[in-house]
Amino acid sequence: MHSAAVMSHLKQIGTVEEVSEIVCLVRGLPHASMDEEVIFESGAKGMVLRLDEDYVYVVLLGRENTVRRGSEVMGTGEPLSVPVGDELLGRVINPLGEPVDGKAIINTDLKLPIERPAPSIFERRPIKQQLETGIVMIDAMLPLGRGQRETIIGDPKSGKSNSVYTAILNQARLGILSVYVTIGKPQSKIKAFVERLKNENLLDKVVIVMGTASMSPTLNFVAPYAGTTIAEYFMEKGKDVLVVYDDLSQHAKYYRQMSLLLKRSPGREAYPGDIFFIHSRLLERAAALTEEKGGGSITSLPLIEIKERDLTGYVPTNVLSITDGHILYDIGLFNQNIIPSVALELSVSRLGGKVQCPILKKLGVTTSQDLMRYREAQAFAHFGTDLAQETKNRIERGKRIIEFLKQDPYEAISIRNQIIMLYGLTKGIFDKVKIDAVRILKKQIFDFMQTSESWKTFYDDILVKDLRDLRKEFISLFKELEEKFIKAQEIVDEEVEKAKEKAAEATATATEAAGPKSKKKSLFGFGKKGKKDNQEASNSGLKTEAEAAKPTSAAESSVQPVAPNTETAGATADAPLITDATITADTSQKTDEQPDPAPQETITEPTHENSHPA
């Protein structure tokens, strides 16, 4: 509708008294209400965010420079709304519902306010279904339920966004809808994720509400509320929806900027006093509805950015107190190439195993305990003390657990594959596998199970039956895996070790053959002909009685100088030490080694003319 036509139908008209960046001070509009949408004379839109006795404070929804002092502004009498409907699936929109993906205009006449009351307690049902993220550490050890609110918190560039991307992709593969809301993010990052969705033909399961750094603070503030309203439309139709807010710490900063321009009293860290309320009323809209209300659900995953693992900030503590748990991403683990970098000991999901199948619940608890013991033993091992064999075994198993839990970006693992993997870890089946072959072996096993008919049949019962009922079948199928992959891996390792031993023996033989031809030097640099060298030294003014002495027998003339060598002390030529650690040693050291015959003399050089031989 044209702005002039709209003006003719509006009754409330005010005048702009002052313009300050994105905030306008308007006189008039006596019936204005909070969050009401207003339209300026130039066609620009705004939203009422503060009411005074004589003035109304309006924030502009865009970076408009067409609003001037004295311009007219008209109230619509309606709260700010966003279009909703199935037409939004597969689209990238701004927080006002306008397409920004270059495609056709969204044809929907249905609009809903961005601010809506949260479902009451009588409209909610207990959360009993698991939300499958495809990330083993979350699904098995920190399970999420459909309708839950879980904070994803961590340092910058610690892998938080990659994890939620994996969760969105996995939900789309399962046919579950997602709404991804960005707040102050670069467009290039969003574009890369959209391309990934297109490549897998999953974009029609996702709605992306894009708030970028180039947009006004008002639009970034509105973005999470608009995304939640879109998700509520699908929830009320009986569908399960995942909503990701990336991230709410930026959202709080934009709201602080707006509040300071609205001349509200600043509080802690200059945030306004209602900073807790704007996030609580947003996250309370996540729920699992009763069957009478359609049975749909909204699962909220707000992201929070912290610095140096500091969880005591104002905004992080607020959001943590609102949600049903949190998952901490540790930058230290990320730098060690442990991805996803979830700090298990500092994370919690308050739903626990209520939403998990019995098998995954039991395996997840056991694996998490093994992982915690591994990290304790690893910290103790840093002191350099002698470790018991049990502790060493615990560390070795923990290393393999870490390798199995590593996942590449966008790599999602199904619940059934997680159960197979965790069972093998807890039973020690993979303890003999070399660490650098763990991830390759994991991929081979998963590919094999997709084509094996026996595993396909077993898959149908794995989520509904108890582990005790499936134990015998489980063990027999694992023996098949062990024979096909792990035993084969051990055979390959043995062949490699034998090849290394043969190469080492050949090197040792060549070293012994070349030994007599090598010139071994004494401590002071003299060669075999120590007598000749000493004679030359005496000619330069270092003559002594010992140097002038001549050997009287062939035995004396055959005396060789022996250089002290602490590394080879006690070793003999007929018993060389060939181990894995020495296979790759420099062969030049071996050529210098000589057989150690009968006790030999060592020729020492005097330091001055008047010195005597030792």
Cα 530 from Cα 278, distance rounded (Å): 90
Q: What confidence score (pLDDT) does residue 56 get?
A: 93
Claim to verify: residue 480 and residue 530 sit in the same structural domain? no
Residues 454 and 473: their CA atoms lie apart, in Å, by 10
Q: What are phi and psi of 573, to 5 degrees?
A: -70, -30
pLDDT tens for residues 555-611? 344 334 444 443 333 333 333 333 343 333 343 444 444 444 444 444 444 444 444
> Residue 576's pLDDT is what?
36
Q: Report if residue 334 sits inside a domain.
A: no
- 364 and 479 housed in the same domain: yes
pLDDT at 300 over 80: yes
Comparing CA positions, the residue from 26, 115, 119, 27 lying closest to residue 78 is 115
Distance, in Å, from the CA atom of 73 to the CA atom of 10, rounded to the nearest integer, reads 10
Contact 496, 522 (CB under 8 A): no
Using the 3D structure, point to which of 49, 79, 109 is the last residue of a domain. Answer: 79
The Cα-based distances of 505 to 281, 502, 575 in angstroms read 74, 5, 11
Query: Coil, helix or strand for 326?
Result: strand
Give the chain's radius of gyration (CA, Å). 37
Dihedrals phi, psi of 574, to nearest 5 degrees: -85, 0
Q: Over 60: is that where the pLDDT of 614 sits?
A: no
By three-state DSSP, how is residue 374 classified?
helix
pLDDT of residue 541: 45
Whether 463 and 564 map to the same domain: the answer is no
CB contact set of 543 (below 8 Å; sequence gap of 6+): 537, 609
Please tell me the least confidently modeled range out of 101-110, 415-424, 464-473.
464-473
Q: Which two tokens stand for residue 591?
A: 């050529």
Beta-carbon contacts of residue 323 (< 8 Å; ≥ 6 apart)? 149, 150, 151, 283, 300, 302
CATH number of the domain where residue 30 is located: 2.40.30.20
Tell me whether residue 331 is in a domain: no
* Domain tally, the chain: 4
How far is Cα 79 from Cα 471, in angstroms, rounded to an integer?
59
Q: Residue 69: is its pLDDT beyond 60?
A: yes
Dist CA 528 CA 605 (whole Å): 14
Residue 149 included in any domain:
yes
pLDDT at 553 over 70: no
Q: Is 288 found in the same domain as 164?
A: yes
Residues above pLDDT 90, as percent of the chain = 44
Q: Identify the domain containing residue 51 by its residue range.
A: 3-79
Q: Which of 153-157, 329-333, 501-505 bottoms out in mean pLDDT, i.e. has the lowest?
A: 501-505
Taking residue 550's Cβ as centre, other Cβ atoms within 10 Å add up to: 8
Q: Which residue, of 79, 107, 133, is where some domain finishes? A: 79
Residue 451: what pLDDT?
Answer: 78
113 and 75 within one domain: no
Q: Which residues of 299-311 are buried (b: 16+ CB within 10 A; e: fewer)?
A: bbbbbbbbeebee
Backbone torsions φ then ψ of 104, nearest 5 degrees: -65, 160
pLDDT tens profile 481-531: 767 766 655 555 555 566 677 777 777 777 777 655 444 443 334 444 444
CATH number, domain with residue 109: 3.40.50.300
pLDDT score at 308: 83
pLDDT higher at 26 or 477: 26
Q: What is the pLDDT of residues 218-248, one digit of tens each?
A: 999 999 999 999 999 999 999 999 999 998 9
Q: Residue length, the chain?
A: 614
pLDDT value of residue 149: 96
**How far is C-alpha 229 from the chain's CA centre?**
29
Which pLDDT tens digit goes with each residue over 127-153? 999 999 999 999 999 999 999 999 999
Task: Tell me, yes or no, whether 227 and 126 share the same domain.
Answer: yes
For residues 429-449, average pLDDT: 81
Predicted pLDDT of residue 559: 39
Structure tokens at 485: 């992959």
* For helices 467-481 and 453-462, angle between their N-to-C axes, nearest 10 degrees: 160
| Beta bridge pairs of residue 305 | 154
Q: CA nearest 112: which of 288, 292, 234?
A: 234
Q: Are strands 151-154 and 297-305 parallel, antiparallel or unpaired?
A: parallel
In DSSP terms, which residues pair with 477 in a beta bridge?
none
Could you tell me how far CA 133 lies from the centroid of its own chain? 13
CA atoms 116, 121, 126, 127: torsion sign? positive
The CA distance from 337 to 439, in Å, is: 13
Q: What is the pLDDT of residue 503?
A: 77
Highest mean pLDDT among 154-168, 476-490, 531-545: 154-168
Beta strands in 54-172, from DSSP E residues, in sequence order = 55-60, 72-79, 81-83, 92-93, 111-113, 130-131, 144-145, 151-154
343, 329 Cβ separation under 8 angstroms: yes
Looking at the domain assignment, is residue 173 inside a domain?
yes
Q: Which residues contact 437 (CB under 8 A, 6 or more apart)?
A: 489
| For range 420-434, the mean pLDDT | 82
What number is the average pLDDT over the span 236-262?
94
The first and second tokens of residue 172, run together, are 């789309």
Residues 105 and 232 in one domain: yes
Q: Give residue 537's identity as a one-letter amino acid code.
A: A
Q: Is the pLDDT of residue 343 over 50?
A: yes
Beta bridge partners of 298: 241
- Kindly report, residue by residue over 307-316, the tens digit of the pLDDT: 888 888 999 9
Pick the range with the lowest mean pLDDT from 12-16, 399-403, 430-434, 511-515: 511-515
> Is 474 within 8 Å of 423 (Cβ atoms)?
yes
pLDDT in tens, 280-295: 999 999 999 999 999 9
Return the pLDDT at 537: 45
| Residue 268 shares a structural domain with residue 375 | no
487/541 same-domain check:
no
Could you write out the DSSP letters of every residue in 190-247?
HHHHHHHHHHTT-GGGEEEEEEETTS-HHHHHHHHHHHHHHHHHHHTTT-EEEEEEE-
Which residues belong to the active site?
A: 350
Q: 3-state DSSP: the chain helix, strand, coil percent, rounded to 5?
A: 45, 15, 40
Is 374 or 522 the better-scoring residue by pLDDT?
A: 374
Does residue 304 sit in the same domain as residue 168?
Answer: yes
Contacts of 427 (CB under 8 A, 6+ apart): 478
Q: How confident is the model at residue 464 (pLDDT cuts 50, 70, 90)?
A: low
Rounded to an integer, what distance in angstroms lies between the CA atom of residue 363 and that of residue 100?
45
Mean pLDDT of the chain: 80
User: Could you tell me what percent of the chain has a pLDDT over 70?
Assistant: 76
**Model pLDDT for residues 77-106, shown as the tens digit of each residue:** 899 999 999 999 999 999 999 999 888 888
Write down the pTM of the prediction.
0.76
- The answer, yes or no, to whether residue 349 has pLDDT greater than 80, is yes
Assess whether 181 and 108 both reside in one domain: yes
Three-class SS state of 349: strand
Any idea which residue has 């509006």 for tokens?
10
61, 97: one domain: no
Assess whether pLDDT exceeds 70 at residue 178. yes
**What totals of helices (H) and strands (E) does the chain contain, helices first?**
21, 18
For 468, other C-beta atoms within 10 Å of its C-beta total 9
d(CA 292, CA 287): 14
Rounded Cα–Cα distance for residues 396 and 394 (Å): 5
User: Of 52, 79, 106, which residue is a domain's last?
Assistant: 79
Give the tokens for residue 34: 């909070």
Specify the amino acid at residue 162.
N
